[in-house]
Amino acid sequence: MDAALTGLLAATPDTDDLDTRILDAALAEFETYGLRRVSVEDVAKRAGVARTTIYRRFTNKEQLLQAVILREVRRFLTAIADATEDLPSPEDAVVEGFVAGLQGARTHPLMTRVLQSEPEAFLPQLSMNGGAVMVAARDILADRLRRARPDDPQDFATVAEVLLRVAVSLLLVPGGGLTLDDEPAIRAFARDYLTRMLHAH
């Protein structure tokens, strides 16, 4: 497991079957009704537990939401790490990391729900824990770039962060002149334009 991913999740306690049941129910509620409308009582009903059972494990709705998001972040970062594992060049890592990140975010039911109905809630969640999500994703991708070109002194962390910020802007402000509606289009865009950030040697 990447150090960045491990670091982000280090404070997350191990979950038991009941925690998983509660988090699954909360995720389903948030995906269906959005972040604002869901109450702890709604989650309790879906999970088939008493509201007090949830409060014994999660202090309030905000803590429950953070636990759900952190679990989804783990899955998201793992997907980026898997997509960029053992690639032969930093260019490939740029392309596949960008594709995995953008497609993963666009197709995630909770992300889709929030961006459509509560877009103002997206950035605060992305920047939770001092921007740890962005930092972890950046560090994973930068690590892949360094592995593919270990003797290259360039600043791969900056390249990785620019990629992530481009992806975030495409999520928040769709449309415009960039028509990236499917995976081949995203991959071609990344290959033609984003790999230019890597210095030619």
63 contact partners, CB below 8 Å, separation of at least 6: none
Tens of pLDDT, residues 79-107 = 888 998 888 888 999 999 999 999 998 89
Q: Quick one: angle between helices 90-107 and 61-83, nearest 10?
A: 140
Token reading at 136? 């972890």
Q: Distance between CA atoms of 69 and 197, rounded to whole angstroms? A: 31
**Over pLDDT 70: what percentage of the chain?**
88
Given this model, what pLDDT does residue 48 score?
96
